[in-house]
Amino acid sequence: MKKGKTYGTVIVDLEKKEVVDLLPDRESGTLAKWLKKHPEIKTVSRDRYGPYTLSAKTGAPNAIQVADRFHLLMNLGDVFKRIF
């Protein structure tokens, strides 16, 4: 993240491929609060940003957490670069 920039959280319905909401920040409490208001959420796809882990556990404790495809492939590429 770049200093002096403001970051938000984009909520996307991956089945419909639609943006559902845009949260004003990346704070754990903000996302947890949003998730609590949407108990229908069964799966949370996220990057490895620490507060998102806590948010999902707090806001949607029964949801399955999975790594999002972009970051999973990026991390895999980093591993290959280190090995080879």
In which band, very low, low, confident or very high, does the pLDDT at 1 lie, cut at 50, 70 and 90?
low
For the stretch 38-72, pLDDT in tens is 999 999 999 888 899 999 999 999 999 998 889 89
Task: Rounding to the nearest 10 degrees, give the CA dihedral for residues 12, 17, 72, 56.
Answer: 30
What Cα–Cα distance (Å) separates residue 79 from each residue in 2, 50, 72, 73, 76? Answer: 24, 20, 11, 10, 5
Average per-residue pLDDT for the chain: 93
pTM reported for the whole predicted model: 0.81
What pLDDT does 34 receive? 98
